Amino acid sequence: MTDIIQESDESVQSALLASQAPQSPAEYLNAMWRRIRSGDIGTLPIVLGLVVIAIIFQTANQNFLTPRNLVNIVIQMAGIAVIAYGMVYVLLLGEIDLSAGYVSAVGGVSAAILLRDSLMNPSLAWIDWWNVIPIALLITTAIGFLHGFIITSFQLPSFIVTLAGLLAWNGVVLMIVGDGGTVNIQNPVVRNLASEVLPPIWSWIIIGLFIASYGVLDFMTANARRKAGLRAKPTPIMIGQLVIMAAIGAFVAYIFNINRALTSAAPPQQGMPVIAVIMLVMLMVLTFVAERTRFGRYVYAVGGNKEAARRAGIRVERIRVLVFMVSGLMAGMGGIILASRLKSVATDAGGGNLLLYVIAAAVIGGTSLFGGRGKVVSAVLGALVVASVENGMGLLNVSSGVKFVVTGLVLLAAVVIDALSRRGQQTGR
């Protein structure tokens, strides 16, 4: 039996042929442009935003774009970015974790207290940086599990449960630290985590490795696709991207390696901060998990269409609990970084605008609040924006009132762009 109804268009090529058709660089760029126009703007606004920020603050204060200040910004953004990694996963589900700020403080204060007690209590002498960090992370991951467990078993909105968490974990931090107190960190490794730099040669090695591995993976994928008869990224495009990345990477390494010491008499300060390496490694691992594994695929699927995921046999509730555990884990890591930056944990740890900065970072970076759309890298880009604004306004000595207003406006702009691009995608159908 053949088609009982006449096929509308005989000339259409088959899906197989269409997917095999080689793409010229021009066609590739054309398709990219079409994606951008249909609302899939990716990281475009943020690059423009960073340029604007750099111009504004540099004109206002000549110190903004100095190597010393740029490294400061990197150190300032690290804690935010790492917590925001977890937040991206939560947002991908279409949920939110309002407790991330204070959970990070729980992580920081747990590590600080254990390290302090290990100095005074001989039975705790076994505690050192290499085991206290996993312990603190275990605690915050367990907190994430608790949130996820409550949310899924009682079918509550994550907004409410983590709001309760926000209050409760703030209380826990206060109870541990004690009123008005501060827990200092003596342990040299934890203390220097946020400020240690690597010898200058490592800036080139690490950034070089990062870009080289990206390039090799890209080429290998394209090769394998071509071999399989599938459409692959055109080679000139890959080379172009690699050249741009290498140029940016070389510039960053160069900046890291300029002597940042304020006077020529002082010992030289140069090299890549360890914290930047940690940030980069976590970015790679979490991006791999999000985009190249089943778990990551399921996170996107649940955020995109929960019912579809459920019918596909995905254990939706388990994915949700796991994502809140990821959020807890990343919050703990960020908390340790923040504690290391201050070399102490005080009663106000995890408070102030930390949580809003974290959510703002993820959203500004391009992760949708409505679930299903976003990338782990948006946490880094958004944190860079947030830290730059905060840092620039610090240089200008504006009041914290102005700081809040400006950060609020940046966040608002990001959300508006998100909403507009969503609308663009829907009408693009």
The residues binding other proteins (CB under 8 A) are 1, 3-9, 12-16, 18-19, 38, 224-225, 228-231, 288-289, 292-295, 297-298, 300-301, 303-305, 307-309, 311-314, 372-373, 425-426, 428-429
Of 357, 251, 356, 278, give the one whose Cα is nearest residue 75: 278
CB-CB neighbours of 36 under 10 Å: 14
SS3 182: strand
To the nearest 10 degrees (0 to 180), the angle between helices 25-37 and 235-257 is 70
d(Cα 338, Cα 345) in Å, to the nearest integer? 9
Q: Least distance in Å: CB of 219 to other proteins? A: 14
Q: Least distance in Å: CB of 146 to other proteins? A: 21
Residue 166 or 299: the one with the smaller Cβ distance to other proteins is 299
Look up residue 102 and give its two tokens.
């204070």
SS3 344: strand
d(Cα 357, Cα 162) in Å, to the nearest integer? 17
Q: Least distance in Å: CB of 294 to other proteins? A: 4
Residue 18 or 402: the one with the smaller Cβ distance to other proteins is 18
Residue 105 or 238: the one with the smaller Cβ distance to other proteins is 238
In the Cβ-directed half-sphere of 247, how many Cα atoms lie within 13 Å?
6
Q: Least distance in Å: CB of 251 to other proteins? A: 32
d(Cα 65, Cα 46) in Å, to the nearest integer? 18
Q: Least distance in Å: CB of 24 to other proteins? A: 15
CB-CB neighbours of 216 under 10 Å: 11
CB-CB neighbours of 386 under 10 Å: 27
- Alpha-carbon Rg of the chain, whole angstroms? 24
Residue 224 or 243: the one with the smaller Cβ distance to other proteins is 224
226-247: b (≥16 Cβ within 10 Å) or e:
eeeeebbbbeebbeeebeeebe
Measure the CA angle with vertex 414, ends 58 and 244; round to 5°. 60
Residue 112 or 290: the one with the smaller Cβ distance to other proteins is 290
Q: Least distance in Å: CB of 286 to other proteins? A: 12
Residue 13 or 153: the one with the smaller Cβ distance to other proteins is 13
Q: Least distance in Å: CB of 313 to other proteins? A: 4
Calculate the CA 124 to chain-centre distance.
34
Q: Least distance in Å: CB of 330 to other proteins? A: 17
d(Cα 199, Cα 196) in Å, to the nearest integer? 10
Look up residue 294 and give its two tokens.
């089943």
Q: Least distance in Å: CB of 362 to other proteins? A: 16
DSSP state of 122: G
Q: Least distance in Å: CB of 322 to other proteins? A: 9
Residue 12 or 244: the one with the smaller Cβ distance to other proteins is 12
Residue 177 or 319: the one with the smaller Cβ distance to other proteins is 319
Residue 343 or 422: the one with the smaller Cβ distance to other proteins is 422
Residue 16 or 205: the one with the smaller Cβ distance to other proteins is 16
CB–CB of 177/342 below 8 Å?
Answer: no
